Amino acid sequence: MKCSRCGAVAQVALPSHHSGFCPDCFRVFFSRQVERAIHQHRMFSQQEPVLVALSGGKDSLSLLRELVLQGYNVTGLHIDLGIPESSPAARAKVEAFCAALGARLAVLDMASEGVPIPAVKACVTRPICSVCGKIKRYYFNKFAMDNGFAAICTGHNLDDEVGRLFANTLRWDVGYLSDQGPSLPGRDGFVAKCRPLYRLSEYETAAYAFLSGIDIHVAPCPYSKGASFTRRKELMNRLEGESPGAKLQFYESFLKNARPHFEAAEDRGGVALAPCERCGYPTSAVVCNVCRIREKLG
């Protein structure tokens, strides 16, 4: 297979785009998809300060690299969860990556915030991943708001987005369907959220990470139950295999034709939020979840 742009030997075959690319041209393709996502959804300008949430995985590191190379005003934010089996390695990797790239990095330590994940796990009855996810989102948002960032970017890719959309659609979950999308504007107490990799599949981000020398291996979190989304993703991939481009089309059509209706419905009957009595960040309770956990761990 020859590169669709320059005719050299292709290394990446993309049936969804009826193309194949050599490493250099693939990186150009990747950059353009990111640019297109940012412009089409008016995510942020070159000057506005934005945060990139860095877990240490290939998606978030690829995103940071791309935004830095494109000249955006980005800062990485890593949350050290305080899990002895995985956090030190993830943190060291993020720190080394940012240093090599010359990118600014902030690290928030959950142990210093009074919510190290192993202790949280011991005191909650709900599945730890849902609580851990809440804590991470809370601190990402709080850090962005407290420090005047215009948006927080995450490394969600097309497969993450389509998998979630598919799940939300199977349940016709109006609340989630009303605000799923690559760009969620900021509102009272919430910073804007952006997903500049939403046009790129998991395969494309993996290929980008490989070709850019981003080493992807980190010790997995010991609480990770493995691939929970995988079945749904397999189903979507089978659809994609039979009709290349189906995933992006399903997602883009949702944004264009369906989401506005769910937004309107949610406006009529959504949950009201008010500032948390302790920390001031929005919650549907009097004291927010994170403050309650922090008090419990006291």
Binding footprint of Zn ion on the chain (CB under 5 A): 3, 5-6, 8, 22, 25, 276, 278-279, 288, 291
Largest CA distance in the chain: 63
Q: Which does 230 bind (CB under 5 to 8 A by kind): other proteins, Zn ion, ligand SF4, none?
A: other proteins
**The binder of other proteins chosen from 6, 7, 8, 15 (CB under 8 A):** 15
Report yes or no: 144 and 51 within 8 Å, Cβ to Cβ.
yes
Q: Which CB, 152 or 221, lies closer to ligand SF4?
A: 221
Nearest Cα to Cα of residue 178 among 293, 92, 268:
268
Q: End-to-end distance of the chain based on CA atoms, in angstroms?
A: 61
Distance separating alpha carbons of residues 96 and 56, to the nearest angstrom: 10
Cβ at position 60, least distance to other proteins in Å? 11
Distance separating alpha carbons of residues 75 and 53, to the nearest angstrom: 9
Query: Which region, judged by CB under 8 A, interacts with other proteins, from 82-90, 111-119, 225-233, 277-285?
Result: 225-233
Cβ at position 6, least distance to other proteins in Å? 15
Q: Which CB, 174 or 218, lies closer to ligand SF4?
A: 218
**The binder of ligand SF4 chosen from 190, 210, 223, 229 (CB under 6 A):** 223
Query: Residue 297: CB partners within 8 Å, gap ≥ 6?
Result: 114, 115, 119, 120, 123
Query: Which region, judged by CB under 6 A, interacts with ligand SF4, from 7-15, 96-104, 128-136, 233-241?
Result: 128-136
Report yes or no: 30 and 42 within 8 Å, Cβ to Cβ.
no
Q: Which CB, 128 or 211, lies closer to ligand SF4?
A: 128
**Secondary structure class of 282 (helix, strand, coil):** strand
- Residue 228 in the binding site for other proteins (CB under 8 A): yes
Query: Residue 271: CB partners within 8 Å, gap ≥ 6?
Result: 175, 284
Please give the helix or strand (H or E) that residue 219 lies within, else none.
none
Cβ at position 153, least distance to other proteins in Å? 18
Report yes or no: 14 and 22 within 8 Å, Cβ to Cβ.
no
β-strand 274-275 against 282-283: which pairing, if any?
antiparallel
Query: Which region, judged by CB under 8 A, interacts with other proteins, from 71-79, 108-116, 118-126, 198-206?
Result: 198-206
Q: Which does 279 bind (CB under 5 to 8 A by kind): other proteins, ligand SF4, Zn ion, none?
A: Zn ion
The pair phi, psi for residue 2, each rounded to 5°, is -105, 150
**Secondary structure class of 147 (helix, strand, coil):** coil
Cβ at position 53, least distance to other proteins in Å? 14
Q: Which does 176 bind (CB under 5 to 8 A by kind): Zn ion, ligand SF4, other proteins, none?
A: none
Binding site for ligand SF4 (CB under 6 A): 81, 117, 128-129, 132-133, 221, 223-224
Binding site for other proteins (CB under 8 A): 1, 10-16, 20, 23, 57, 59, 159, 201-203, 206-207, 210-211, 216, 220, 224, 226-230, 233-234, 237-238, 240-241
